[in-house]
């Protein structure tokens, strides 16, 4: 329908339009909404920042996400029915549910058990709509892994949103990885491209307000919405990645996914291990994340964000190498990328053990 250059202009125009819209809508929120999500006044809240700031960045994310969803029929006339596919409707339903639950949590500080139930339900919705990790021969094992992945990613992004700009830059890198797969592996699905490009622009506009010193946070509204969206990207484009001739390659599926989602996975894993070692519940927040330990080691908040930005770009580059230059996955690839994952995990884990005396619970 469109040539390559025309598609490039469409997606570029969408990105910059959504970026400007994101900047404008967050500016309006800053002007007219001063209290939504401000819970940092509570001394028991373990956020790194000592300032009370509004947490409504996720509202802008979801508005642009819905806008891009509805734009498909306008930009691609005659193909509007493509957005009514079960997997896209499931994504829309699950992200909407995550968004609403996050909005309720920002406004009323909901019970953890309710949050957990909603997260499981988001995973069930994705499975019911045809989005499921296909790694094992048993359907029950694939379903269990999918729910674990969705719940884990929703919590990981929420936990990573503990310092200015961190969760935003990490999520942007994962969205960019999804776009790379669409461009270089294909098929170039317009519906997914619109959603991913628009969401990337929404995060870019929000980052202007979220970079240190930030003026707003994304809150649970943003982290829960992003958790579902990023989990979907992981399932569809990385967990279920296949080699030449649609051959299943477990090494590519597992390690490719680990590279793309390395930072949220490592941060959550390290925090969980350290809290268990200290005899604390892994579900109770604290200033003991990998980001915090970089601060204890002497890095400023801006330098911590730049460090995570650099690691995210490196992971994005490695993802490009995996999808573009490794047509058939071999044992040597498993060794190389496993080594990289272990180096990052080991470095951050040792950092948290070295500076453990500075942890503030």
Residue 72: per-residue pLDDT:
82
- What is the C-alpha end-to-end distance of the chain, expressed in Å? 57
Contact predicate 60/68, CB 8 Å: no
Q: How far is CA 105 from CA 28, 171, 255, in A?
A: 22, 21, 33
Helix (H, G, I), strand (E, B), or coil: what is residue 217? strand
Domains held by the chain: number: 1
Give 306: exposed, middle or buried? Use CB within 10 Å, 0-12, 13-18, 19+: middle
Residue 311 lies in a domain: yes
Residue 5 lies in a domain: no
pLDDT over threshold 50, residue 296: yes
Contact predicate 107/56, CB 8 Å: no
Residue 257: per-residue pLDDT:
96
pLDDT over threshold 50, residue 41: no
Per residue in 98-144, pLDDT (tens digit) is 999 999 888 787 788 999 999 999 999 999 999 999 999 999 999 99
Residue 128: per-residue pLDDT:
97
Residue 7 lies in a domain: no
Kindly indicate the confidence band of residue 33, based on its pLDDT and cuts at 50, 70 and 90.
low
Residue 316 lies in a domain: yes
pLDDT over threshold 70, residue 74: yes
Kindly indicate the confidence band of residue 346, based on its pLDDT and cuts at 50, 70 and 90.
very high
- What percent of the chain shows pLDDT beyond 90? 55
CB atoms within 10 A of CB 68: 22
The angle that helices 331-354 and 250-260 make with each other, rounded to 10 degrees, is 30
Both tokens of residue 245? 């001739």
Q: What does the alpha-carbon distance between residue 266 and residue 264 come to, in Å, rounded to a whole number?
A: 6
pLDDT over threshold 60, residue 39: no
Residue 249: per-residue pLDDT:
84
- What percent of the chain shows pLDDT beyond 70? 90
> What integer best gives the mean pLDDT of the chain?
87
Residue 124 lies in a domain: yes
Helix (H, G, I), strand (E, B), or coil: what is residue 158? helix
Give mean pLDDT, residues 215-232.
92
Residue 42: per-residue pLDDT:
42
42 vs 83 pLDDT, higher one: 83
88 vs 359 pLDDT, higher one: 88
pLDDT over threshold 60, residue 34: no
Residue 355: per-residue pLDDT:
60
The domain of 192 spans 12-358
Report, in angstroms and rounded to the nearest whole number, the Rg of the chain calculated over CA atoms.
Answer: 20
DSSP letter for each residue of 277-305:
HTT--TTS--B-SHHHHHHHTT--HHHHH
Give mean pLDDT, residues 9-17.
92
Helix and strand tally (H, E) in the chain? 13, 0
Give mean pLDDT, residues 333-355.
90
Kindly indicate the confidence band of residue 219, based on its pLDDT and cuts at 50, 70 and 90.
confident
79 vs 184 pLDDT, higher one: 184
Residue 332: per-residue pLDDT:
95
pLDDT over threshold 50, residue 45: no
Residue 341 lies in a domain: yes
pLDDT over threshold 80, residue 330: yes
pLDDT over threshold 70, residue 319: yes
Residue 4 lies in a domain: no
Residue 277 lies in a domain: yes
**Peptide bond just before 298 cis, omega within 30 deg:** no
Per residue in 240-282, pLDDT (tens digit) is 987 655 677 889 999 999 999 999 999 999 999 888 888 777 7
The angle that helices 262-277 and 139-160 make with each other, rounded to 10 degrees, is 80
pLDDT over threshold 70, residue 51: no
Per residue in 150-204, pLDDT (tens digit) is 999 999 999 898 888 899 999 999 999 999 999 998 888 899 999 999 999 999 9
């Amino acid at each position: 329908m469109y040539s390559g250059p025309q598609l490039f202009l469409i997606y570029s125009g969408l990105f910059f339009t959504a970026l400007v819209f994101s900047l404008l809508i967050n500016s309006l929120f800053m002007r007219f909404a001063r209290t939504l999500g401000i819970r940092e006044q509570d001394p028991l809240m373990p956020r790194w920042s000592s300032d009370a700031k509004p947490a409504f960045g996720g509202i802008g994310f979801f508005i642009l996400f819905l806008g891009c969803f509805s734009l498909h029929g306008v930009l691609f006339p005659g193909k509007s029915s493509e957005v009514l596919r079960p997997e896209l409707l499931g994504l829309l339903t699950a992200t909407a549910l995550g968004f609403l639950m996050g909005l309720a949590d920002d406004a009323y500080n909901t019970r953890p058990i309710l949050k957990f139930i909603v997260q499981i339900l988001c995973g069930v919705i994705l499975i019911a709509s045809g989005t499921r990790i296909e790694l094992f021969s048993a359907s029950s094992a694939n379903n269990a892994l999918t729910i674990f992945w969705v719940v884990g990613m929703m919590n990981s992004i929420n936990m990573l949103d503990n310092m200015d700009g961190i969760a935003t830059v990490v999520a942007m890198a994962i969205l960019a990885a999804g776009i790379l797969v669409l461009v270089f592996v294909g098929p170039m699905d317009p519906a997914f491209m619109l959603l991913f490009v628009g969401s990337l622009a929404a995060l870019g506009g929000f980052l202007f307000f979220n970079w240190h010193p930030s003026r707003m946070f994304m809150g649970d509204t943003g982290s829960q919405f992003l958790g579902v969206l990023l989990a979907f990207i992981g399932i569809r484009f990385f967990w279920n990645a296949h080699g030449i001739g649609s051959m299943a390659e477990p090494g590519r599926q597992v390690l490719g996914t680990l590279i793309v989602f390395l930072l949220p996975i490592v941060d959550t894993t390290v925090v969980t291990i350290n809290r268990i070692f200290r005899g604390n519940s892994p579900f109770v927040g604290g200033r003991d994340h990998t980001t915090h330990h970089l601060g204890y080691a002497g890095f400023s908040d801006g330098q911590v964000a730049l460090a995570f930005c650099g690691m995210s770009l490196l992971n994005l580059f490695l993802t490009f190498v995996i999808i573009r230059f490794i047509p058939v996955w071999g044992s040597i690839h498993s060794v190389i990328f496993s080594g990289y994952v272990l180096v990052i995990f080991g470095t951050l884990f040792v950092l948290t053990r070295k500076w453990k005396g500075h942890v503030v619970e």
